[in-house]
């Protein structure tokens, strides 16, 4: 099938490369000429396992092409996917101006019968509104369909190839069938529904997962206060099939480019519809407080005052396996620690950027050297394997704050260091 993907961000590139691998001819429209140049040169602008290989093979085979001209990108496309940013607006609601701008740019140029797919996370009701807009300006025969993405960074390519489900929200059955056809070859349940429910599936899924993480963090905080070990508590809970062991790892709070934005957006969607989603408001509040709890531990570990102290920080990305700093709890921790008067020396195996308030160093050992407190903020496996004795010798102080529960407290203590985890 001839397919067009507008927006070469994370979602768009994985979608485009994945569809090319399924045998479709894909043209990507991307406004950033530099990014198009990178892609044409056979490189991936993101670090994402398997993506560079997939992009390269599509580009070499000619099934994947790039252009800065969106109108050229949609020419002869049977399906047009919009994979565009929907940043958080001033009131927590999603800002749709980029999506709307592109719809206005290409709407009148689409062939009758084209299926226009909203893949970005958009407020509930957007697909219907875009459909109404297109109908009003007289672009007849275009069907707007919601097809939310469920990719997680670090596993995006395998999430595309082996999806948990494909959700298709359409008001016209033929359009839904065309979209189901494009995914032929993927072994996944297909959920056919209306666009509003499809949009809600995405928000409800992310809100549930964010709530689950936050529940784990809240249980950890109670465990810590009463002297229980959250890791044993979660292990004991998880054997109940209804609960399970997954996605409840305690930490510094959830982050990234999706959960913080989508939870706020859902609160705002519900509020606009007359429902106060106080459960989710609580999740957002508990999550933000979780950052401060970690900083309180760092302060306690430094003897009650961070002024003039040095904190060696391990990890800056919002989770292991990515270089992405968007919404990273680690960056927020660094900001708060710096604001409390301490120097932050940080190492992340995937991040080299210059960052405000942070002195970047090149290794775990360099981060530890001369630090009063060592703080683990991202769960990179190499931090779990560090030589704790050797690290202890480089520290100026004797404290480790493990905000990801990565280390064995007994090992840290036997190296003569004091240990703070989350809920243990
Ligand atoms: C998330 C969802 O997992 C995807 O299904 C969804 O498609 C995506 O958002 C999106 O909406 O685009 P992602 O943000 O890449 O994916 O990362 P996750 O692995 O879900 O992690 C989110 C945050 O929760 C991270 O800060 C992570 O450290 C935290 N987390 C996750 C925990 O603190 N504990 C856990 O047990 C799991």
Expressed in angstroms and rounded, the spacing between residue 30 Cα and the centre of ligand 1 is 26
Given the CA of residue 205, which atom of ligand 1 is nearest to it?
Answer: 5
Name the residue with the closest Cα to ligand 1, atom 28: 319
Question: Is residue 324 lining ligand 1, measured as CB closer than 6 Å?
Answer: no
At residue 251, φ and ψ (nearest 5 deg) are -170, -155
What are the pLDDT digits (tens) for 245-271? 999 999 999 999 999 999 999 999 999
Task: Read off the pLDDT of residues 71-108 as tens digits, 9 standing for 90 and up.
Answer: 999 999 999 999 999 888 888 778 889 999 999 999 99
Beta strands in 129-259 (DSSP E): 143-146, 166-169, 190-193
Q: Which of 23, 28, 24 is nearest to 11 (CA)?
A: 28
> What's the chain's average pLDDT?
96
83 CB under 6 A from ligand 1? no
Q: What is the pLDDT of residue 212?
A: 98
Q: Which CATH number fits domain 194-218+229-424: 3.40.50.720, 3.40.228.10, 3.30.70.20, 1.10.490.10?
A: 3.40.50.720
Cβ of 251 below 6 Å from ligand 1? yes
61 token code pair = 């085979």
CA 117 – CA 349 distance, rounded (Å): 37
pLDDT tens-place string over residues 142-181: 999 999 999 999 999 999 999 999 999 999 999 999 999 9
pLDDT higher than 80, residue 356: yes
From 258, 269, 371, 388, the catalytic residue: 258
Q: How far is the CA of 209 from the centre of ligand 1 (A)?
A: 8
The residue whose CA has the least distance to atom 20 of ligand 1 is 152
CATH 3.40.50.720 domain span(s) along the chain: 2-193, 194-218+229-424
* Mean pLDDT, range 201-225, rounded to an integer: 98
Ligand 1 closest atom vs CA 329: 26
Q: Is 259 in the pocket of ligand 1 (CB under 6 A)?
A: yes
Is 258 catalytic? The answer is yes
pLDDT on residue 206:
98
Return the percentage of the chain with pLDDT > 70, whole number.
Answer: 100
**Fold topology of 2-193:** Rossmann fold (3.40.50)
């Amino acid at each position: 099938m001839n397919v067009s993907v507008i927006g070469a961000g994370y979602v768009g590139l994985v979608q485009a490369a994945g569809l090319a691998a399924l045998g479709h001819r894909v043209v990507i429209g991307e406004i950033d000429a530099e990014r198009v140049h990178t892609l044409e040169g056979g490189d991936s602008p993101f670090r994402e396992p398997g993506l560079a290989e997939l992009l390269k093979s599509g580009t070499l085979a000619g099934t994947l092409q790039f252009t800065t001209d969106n109108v050229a990108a949609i020419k002869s496309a049977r399906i047009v996917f919009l994979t565009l940013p929907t940043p958080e607006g001033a009131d927590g609601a999603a800002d749709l101006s980029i999506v709307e701008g592109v719809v206005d740019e290409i709407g009148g140029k689409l062939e009758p019968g084209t299926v226009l797919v909203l893949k970005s996370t958009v407020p509930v009701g957007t697909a219907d509104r875009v459909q109404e807009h297109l109908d009003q300006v007289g672009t007849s025969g275009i069907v707007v369909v919601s097809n939310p993405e469920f990719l997680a960074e670090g596993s995006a390519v395998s999430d595309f190839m082996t999806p948990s489900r494909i959700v298709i929200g359409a008001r016209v059955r033929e359009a839904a069938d065309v979209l189901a056809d494009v995914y032929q070859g993927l072994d996944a349940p297909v959920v056919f529904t209306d666009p509003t429910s499809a949009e809600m599936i995405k928000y409800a899924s992310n809100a549930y997962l964010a709530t689950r993480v936050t529940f784990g963090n809240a249980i950890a905080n109670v465990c810590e206060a009463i002297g229980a070990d959250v890791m044993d508590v979660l292990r004991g809970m998880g054997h109940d099939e209804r609960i399970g062991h997954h996605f409840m790892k305690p930490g510094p709070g959830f982050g990234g480019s999706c959960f913080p934005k989508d939870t706020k957006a859902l609160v705002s969607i519900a509020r606009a519809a007359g429902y106060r989603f106080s459960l989710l408001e609580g999740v957002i509040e508990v999550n933000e407080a979780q950052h401060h709890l970690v900083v309180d531990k760092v302060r306690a570990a430094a003897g009650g005052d961070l002024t003039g102290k040095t904190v060696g920080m391990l990890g800056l990305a919002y989770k292991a396996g990515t270089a992405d700093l968007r919404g990273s709890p680690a960056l927020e921790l660094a900001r708060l620690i710096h604001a409390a008067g301490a120097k932050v020396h940080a190492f992340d195996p995937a991040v080299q950027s210059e960052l405000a308030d942070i002195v970047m160093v090149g290794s775990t050992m360099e981060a530890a050297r001369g630090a009063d407190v060592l703080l683990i903020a991202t769960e990179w496996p190499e931090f779990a394997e560090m030589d704790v004795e050797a690290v202890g010798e480089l520290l100026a102080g004797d404290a480790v704050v493990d905000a990801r529960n990565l280390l064995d407290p007994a090992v840290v203590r036997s190296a003569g260091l004091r240990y703070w985890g989350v809920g243990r």
